[in-house]
């Protein structure tokens, strides 16, 4: 119930206004959002990669319906990738792109055209792109665009959300050689007809999907902070005789940082999902919905104790 309430609040203009003006909000947001500019993103990326971690960068600004802003978002990604290339960070940092930020609401062709431009900039920077998955209504369009992009950019990553009932099916379709697939639990509201709503069922789906990906020929990217799921991922790597460089763990910036470093210290590939930009509200609210400890941290900050 709490998760659903927070996800509802992520779309509420009234809740947004309260959050944006509340005392101490900024202090907590900065624990999960790297800043607002390309310079902020480059600084955090440099710090994380210096510690042996990989990075994926997300420019916040999803759900864009204005054509001018869509182009500005695509331009921002190109500028970010140019910065990564110039600073030599391309080998350790990629970008994550939400299609709703670069024109999906204006049509698949618009989103595809902008995604192609971003993928070209990524190639020039010696890195790649992962297309984030969003609302359940966008799954089919996103996968179509992934498949189309992979004709010219075969290293484009896809994302599957385990809370969706078709997740295992999609994982099986994507577990082919060279296919980069991020598996996450999912952080959007969805009707029960298309999604599991019980935590235990979502966890079971995640394990089923993980088994498919780890037994396949692709490159699984296991996005979770759950210690049990991390352990299962490690066990599946041993079972399927996977070397450490054939899969990776992914975690969010500001969450379980010590665990990120512990895994990397043991030789695992660990990528940190770093979001930045002024449009932080929806992203931040989904982080609260994902993990109750995040909500407790925010509540303490509001009364000046964090």
pLDDT score, position 218: 98
Residue 124 above 80 pLDDT?
A: yes
- State the catalytic residue, choosing from 58, 132, 203, 279: 132
- The pLDDT confidence band at residue 303, using thresholds 50, 70 and 90, is very low
Active-site residue, from 3, 92, 182, 256: 182
Whole-number pLDDT of residue 33: 86
Neighbours of 297 (CB within 10 A): 16
Summary mean pLDDT of the chain: 88
Query: For residue 240, what pLDDT is reported?
Result: 98
User: For residue range 10-24, what is the model confidence (pLDDT) as tens digits?
Assistant: 454 554 454 554 544
Cα-to-chain-centroid distance, residue 141:
18
Note the pLDDT of residue 291: 57
DSSP-assigned states of every residue in 59-125: E---S---HHHHHHHHHHHHHHHHHHHHTT-TTTEEEEE-GGGTTGGG-HHHHHHHHHHHHHHHHHT
Q: Tokens 């935590």 appear where?
A: 199
pLDDT at 306: 35
User: What is the per-residue pLDDT across 191-232, written as a single tens digit (0 to 9) for each?
Assistant: 999 999 999 999 999 999 999 999 999 999 999 999 999 999
132 annotated active-site? yes
pLDDT above 50: residue 245: yes
Report pLDDT for 285: 66
pTM for the whole structure? 0.86
- % of the chain residues with pLDDT over 70: 81
pLDDT in tens, 248-288: 999 999 889 999 999 999 999 999 999 998 776 667 666 66
Instruction: Quickly state the pLDDT bin for 31 (edges 50, 70, 90).
Output: confident
Placement of tokens 């319906």 in the chain: 65
């Amino acid at each position: 119930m709490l998760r659903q309430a927070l996800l509802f609040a992520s779309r509420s203009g009234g809740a947004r206004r309260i959050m944006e003006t509340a005392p101490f909000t900024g202090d907590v947001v900065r624990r999960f959002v790297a800043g607002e500019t390309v310079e902020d993103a480059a600084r955090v990326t440099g710090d994380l990669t210096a510690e042996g971690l990989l990075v994926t960068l997300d420019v916040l600004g999803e759900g864009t319906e204005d054509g001018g802003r869509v182009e500005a978002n695509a331009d921002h990604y190109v500028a970010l990738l140019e910065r990564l290339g110039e600073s030599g960070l391309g080998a350790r940092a990629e970008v994550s792109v939400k299609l709703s930020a670069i024109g999906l609401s204006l049509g698949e062709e618009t989103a595809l055209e902008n995604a192609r431009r971003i993928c070209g900039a990524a190639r020039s920077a010696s890195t790649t792109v992962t297309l984030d998955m969003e609302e359940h209504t966008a799954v089919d369009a996103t996968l179509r665009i992934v498949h189309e992009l992979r004709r010219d950019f075969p290293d484009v990553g896809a994302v599957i959300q385990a809370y969706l009932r078709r997740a295992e099916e999609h994982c099986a379709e994507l577990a082919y050689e060279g296919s980069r697939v991020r598996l996450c639990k999912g952080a959007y509201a969805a009707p029960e007809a298309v999604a599991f709503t019980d935590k235990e069922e979502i966890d079971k789906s995640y394990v089923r999907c993980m088994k498919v990906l780890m037994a396949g020929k692709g490159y699984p990217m296991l996005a979770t902070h759950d210690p049990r799921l991390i352990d299962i991922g490690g066990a599946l790597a041993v079972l399927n005789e996977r070397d450490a460089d054939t899969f990776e763990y992914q975690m969010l910036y500001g969450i379980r940082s010590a665990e990120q470093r512990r895994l990397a210290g043991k030789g695992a590939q660990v990528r940190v999902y770093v979001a930045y930009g002024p449009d932080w509200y929806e992203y931040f609210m989904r982080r609260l919905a994902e993990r109750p400890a995040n909500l407790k941290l925010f509540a303490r900050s509001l009364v000046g104790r964090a």
